[in-house]
Amino acid sequence: MSWYENAIIYHIYPLGFCGAPQFNEGGEPVRRLEKVLDWIPHLLEMNVDAVYFSPIFESVEHGYDTIDYKMIDRRLGDNEMFKNICEELHKNGIHVILDGVFNHVGRKFWAFTDIQEKGQNSQYCGWFQNLNFGGQSPCGDPFWYEGWNGHYNLVKLNLQNPDVCNYLLDAVGYWMDEFKIDGIRFDAADCIDFNFFKRIRTFCKSKNPEFWLMGEIIHGDYNRWANPEMLDSVTNYECFKGIWSSHNSKNYYEIDYSINRQSGANGGIYRNLKLYNFVDNHDVDRLASKLETPAYLNTCYTLMYAMPGIPSIYYGSEYGIKGAKRDGWDDSPMRPCLNLEDMKNENTELYQHIVKLGRIYRAYPALRTGNYNRYQITNRQLLFAKELDGQSVYVALNLDDNPYDMQFGTHYGALVDVLNGKPVTVENGQARIHLEPHSSMIIVHDDIVNLQPEPKPVPVEVPVEVKAGQKYQHFKGGIYTVTDIATHSETLEELVIYKSEADGSVWARPKAMFMDTVGEKKRFTLLDES
């Protein structure tokens, strides 16, 4: 079984997460995305297996208008910085997924600007969908082209052109080889040529059989895109809508119908797929803004973690922050710049619930990959089991404003609600449970979560990148300023060149030695640059 089939994914929209300017005005890169390194302990506490970064390639505005497929957006940093981020995430057991915007590019994409400059003499006229010189574009170009969904700042690529496909595959290979990325989410996958998906699957899987290919699909038969010839998974928009809608309408029949249709034990049409589940993302209103009753947040997340598929968290929503489109089109409220310390003053009860769900998800294989089998349902209550190789995990949900009692048959002699660590009464093969209003239970035979001390996340320490201009204190007290990083002419070892603040003497030391420890002390400690 591949890593992504058991994964918990954390989704970040980097330009918003980092508070980057709305437009890319050029200039020197600003290493804003290094902020994610400070979030590693947070990710580990939630048992996150992968970070999915929405667009990070050089773009004009929002990331989906790409300028350069081999460059990190300068508003976020540079490629060297991102390589270090990937290395640190990987050291901590966290995979890296990038957003592949391969259906369209921005108007500043180099091949498009070549046409603007050279007209019909450009060798790239065939790179774009339906480009012709029989009229003028809405943007004033002396030619017409197809924009994605009528947006002419998003120039649609011609993915039936072999040169375009070769270019994009080369870009994917670059991120796989140099940054060791572990997967790609394909934007607007429903608009992309099937042959391109077949080719990119062969390309990526030949380099790394564990590489994950996931597509953004909003409507349609998911099997058309997710199959052994194309993608591994797609976005589960059907159940995204069903989760919040069934709570707002107080009708669990809605979401149960979708889950059974997709993955039911008696013939679900997507039983062989691990769909990407979510309750919100960068394109839709935050769950806390969508729910009419805030108390439903916990039950929504319990349902998402327990239903068939791959659960994901959109950054900040683990604390129940709100965000909804403005004027029906402005997505910026769903893409805020967030400070982790500030968020800890938000819905900490929800966060601890999600942390607990992550631990439970890790502990029980049946919860991750078992068959869905609904036991009982009313408009406001739902009881189902996830079953695998003789292991049953029961999930009970109550969205009513009043308590509710349930009884169900079980082959176990003893059960416990692992969410709360409380035993469940079992007599003569019948389990009896009491659900408080707006509550959920995950009921198991063996409580291997609460009987063990809660593990504390132990992140791998992120080494400081030594740079010219930084001041360090030697463990004996002296203050030094790094003046340069040199390369040994014979061994090619990196050397730190540093100058004493006391007497101006200049010293050189191998970088590895400069950064190591003496006993339990760091040899050199970076001083606060503020």
The per-residue DSSP string of 409-462 comes to E-S-S-EEETTTTEEEEEETTEEEEEEPTTEEEEEESS-TTTSSPPPPP-PPP-
Whole-number Cα distances in Å, 82 to 36, 79, 187: 10, 5, 21
Residue 402 CA to residue 81 CA, distance in Å, equals 52
**Half-sphere exposure of residue 379, counting CA atoms within 13 Å on the CB side?**
6
Contact present, 143 and 112 (Cβ < 8 Å) = no
Residues 38-76 have pLDDT tens digits of 999 999 999 999 999 999 999 999 999 999 999 999 999
CA dihedral 282→285→286→291, nearest 10 degrees, is -160
Helices 194-207 and 162-179 cross at an angle (nearest 10°) of 30
The pLDDT assigned to 425 comes to: 96
**b/e per residue, 160-186, with b = 16+ CB within 10 A?**
eeeebbeebbebbeebbeebebbbbbb
**Nearest Cα to 178, choosing from 283, 38, 69?**
69
Contact 288, 294 (CB under 8 A): yes
pLDDT on residue 41: 96
CB 146 within 8 Å of CB 63: no
β-strand pairing of 95-100 with 183-186: parallel
Position 466 scores a pLDDT of 86
pLDDT, residue 529, reads 53
365-380 burial code (b ≥16 CB/10 A, e <16): bbbbbbbbebeebeeb
Amino acid, single-letter form, for residue 164: V
DSSP assignment of 202-223, as one string?
A: HHHHHH-TT-EEEE---SS-GG
Closest by CA position to 262, among listed 240, 245, 280, 239? 239
Q: What is the pLDDT of residue 4?
A: 97
Spell out the alpha helix ranges (H) of 160-251.
162-179, 194-207, 237-248
Return all residues near 329 (Cβ < 8 A) that are at least 6 apart.
none
User: How far from chain centre, in Å, is Cα 3?
Assistant: 14
Ranges of residues in the chain with a pLDDT under 70 are 452-458, 460-464, 490-492, 518-520, 529-530
Token pair in block for residue 243: 């989760």
Report the alpha-carbon distance of residue 110 to residue 67 in Å, rounded: 7
What are φ and ψ of residue 13, in 5° steps? Answer: -100, 100
Cβ atoms of 444 and 396 within 8 Å: the answer is: no
Burial degree of 250 (CB within 10 A; 0-12, 13-18, 19+): middle
Phi and psi (nearest 5°) for 21? -60, 155
Terminal CA-CA length for the chain: 48
| C-alpha 245 chain-centroid distance | 23
Give the distance between the most distant pair of CA atoms in the chain. 85
Looking up tokens 């389990």, which residue turns up? Answer: 431
Contact (Cβ atoms closer than 8 angstroms) between residue 54 and residue 99? yes
Q: How far is CA 62 from the centre of its chain?
A: 17
**What is the pTM (predicted TM-score) of this model?**
0.87
Q: What is the pLDDT of residue 453?
A: 67
For residue 408, give the nearest of 424, 387, 389, 388 by alpha carbon.
424
CA 73-235-53 angle, to 5 degrees, is: 20
Do residues 236 and 227 lie in contact, with contact meaning Cβ atoms separated by under 8 Å? no
Measured between alpha carbons, how far is 477 from 497 in angstroms, rounded to an integer? 18
Cα gap 145→132, rounded to integer Å: 7
- Domains plus CATH for the chain? 3-363 (3.20.20.80), 370-444 (2.60.40.1180), 471-526 (2.30.30.320)
pLDDT at 530: 43
How many other C-beta atoms lie within 10 A of the C-beta of residue 490? Answer: 6
Kindly state the DSSP code that residue 370 receives in the 8-state scheme.
P
**Is-contact 46 318, C-beta < 8 A?**
yes
